[in-house]
Structure 1
Amino acid sequence: MHQSEIQCRVRALDHLVLTVASIPETVRFYTQVLGMRGEQFEATDGTRRWSLLFGQSKINLHQKGREFDPKAAHAHPGTADICLLTDAPLEAWIVHLTTHQVEIEEGPVQRTGARGPITSLYLRDPDKNLIEVSVPAY
């Protein structure tokens, strides 16, 4: 393998961006239902922005119609499909989601994640993004 190929590899996902219809509603859902931490921060250009933090990653939020540049070519609410890993048993998630009146669209079902087998539940966030909550088997 050529030396430049070894050096030029992606190591991890730092963040992704969701374009949303309502930042407050999105922050409420991801913090109350998915246990993330909402945080407002000052970007390097001086603007105040919102993010959702979890583990070693984050989701940055863009308000539809007021996206920050550069942005996705077709930034729209409801176009994401995200798989999130959890340590909690899916049975606990089913109770938790029911308590929050969040419909489980599918699951528990067996899937294949980045590192091996996972068991997943599928639900939708307020923008109808598909959210997969998964327990790894590894």
Structure 2
Amino acid sequence: MLLDRLDHLVLTVTDMHATLAFYTRVLGMQEITFGNQRKALVFGRQKINLHPAGQPIAPHAAHPTPGSADLCFIVSGDIQELSDHLQNCGVTLEAGPVPRTGATGPIISFYFRDPDGNLLEVATYDVSGLLS
């Protein structure tokens, strides 16, 4: 067996509408409805399934809890454009831009939280001229 990629993950959310609005506006993900009126967010070849808090869909994590995730998303494009976009969306940064190490090398990251308090890291591998 050889793993190829992560297909989807699940976030447990307190307010479905607020979560959908945040991820579509700030991160440009696409909202989809599937199955029995379930909601998800799609980007690239990945999907985030959304489960309402208190109503997890079986099978589920042992302790599905809103705000317990720590996710890193990679973007392409200019770091200043990313910074400007987050500022224009009214996102409060916890840190960034800061150098970090991604799965395949150096990245520059911004950290902030979604409506449930999940820690989100948005980063770029385009670190030319930014790291010494």
Specify the code of the residue in structure 2 equivalent to 1:120: S
Give the paired residue count. Answer: 127
Q: Which amino acid in 1 is paired with 2:108? A: T
Q: TM-score, normalised by structure 1?
A: 0.88
Question: Tell me, which stretches of 5 or more residues in structure 2 are unaligned?
Answer: 128-132
Report the CA distance between 1:88 and its aligned residue: 2.4
Q: Match of 1:32, SS?
A: helix
1:41-79 deviation per Cα after TM superposition (whole angstroms, max 9, x unaligned): 11xxxx220010001101000000011001011110100
Runs of 4+ in 1 over 6 A off after TM superposition: none
Gaps of 5+ in 1: 1-7
Identity %: 47
Task: Find out whether 1:79 has 2:68 as its counterpart.
Answer: yes
Deviation (angstroms), 1:87: 0.6
Match of 1:120 in 2: 109
Q: Does the 8 Å CA contact 1:18/1:77 hold for their aligned counterparts?
A: yes
Counterpart selection for 2:54 from 61, 65, 71: 65
**Which amino acid in structure 2 is aligned with residue 119 of structure 1?**
I
What SS is found at the alignment partner of 2:27?
A: coil
Q: Counterparts of 1:24-63 in structure 2 under 5 Å?
A: 24-42=17-35, 47-63=36-52
Distance 2:34 2:17 in 1: 15
Structure-2 separation of matches of 1:61 and 1:90: 29
Q: Which is higher, the Rg of structure 1 or of structure 2?
A: 1
- 1:92 partnered with 2:92: no
What TM-score, normalized to structure 2? 0.92
**CA distance in structure 2 between the partners assigned to 1:122 and 1:129 by the alignment:** 10
**Could you tell me whether the CA contact under 8 Å between 1:90 and 1:121 is conserved in 2?**
no
- 2:81 partner SS: helix
What SS does the corresponding residue of 1:95 show, helix, strand or coil?
helix
RMSD, aligned α-carbons: 1.2
